[in-house]
Amino acid sequence: MRQLLSVFVAFALAVPVAAQQPVIFDVSNVVMGAQKTPTLWLFAEGMWSDAGEHIGPGSTQIQCYKSFGFCDVANAFETLGVAGVNLTSFDILRWDSKEIIAVDSSPICIVNTLRADLILRAC
């Protein structure tokens, strides 16, 4: 069952959709962790257009850390009336002044790509 759910979520994330306009989109300089490492940080929150009718406007949160080289995406979903959350980590391939490109390095054979457009402020 867990594997089926993972495949469903991976497929849902892999389906190409137009860029989503998040409710919150912030890129800031922050200090993280016990070593107080300075890093550029992206925080985006919103709802994907295919999220479902019972999913709220803040159902997806994206956090990316340039110095650490990863992004985490928390995504709420509903399956047969049961709510759940999927957490996916992405490795940052590129972060420049225009965009962030990151890929999911999970063992599932589907490659998920995360793209954040820093100029249009969209994911």
In tens, the pLDDT along 17-36 reads: 445 678 899 999 999 999 99
Quickly tell me which residue has 């009718």 as its tokens.
53
Domain count, the chain: 1
* CA atoms within 13 Å, Cβ hemisphere of 22: 23
**Residues 75-117 pLDDT 10s:** 888 888 888 888 999 999 999 999 999 998 777 767 789 999 9
**What's the rounded Cα separation, in Å, for the pair 81 and 78?**
6
Whether residue 69 is contained in a domain is answered as: yes
Asked if residue 123 belongs to a domain, the reply is no
Is there a domain that residue 9 lies in? yes
Determine, yes or no, domain membership for 34: yes
User: In which domain, by residue range, is 67 found?
Assistant: 2-117
Report if residue 36 sits inside a domain: yes
Residue 53 lies in a domain: yes
Q: Is 122 a member of any domain? A: no
Note whether residue 92 is domain-resident.
yes
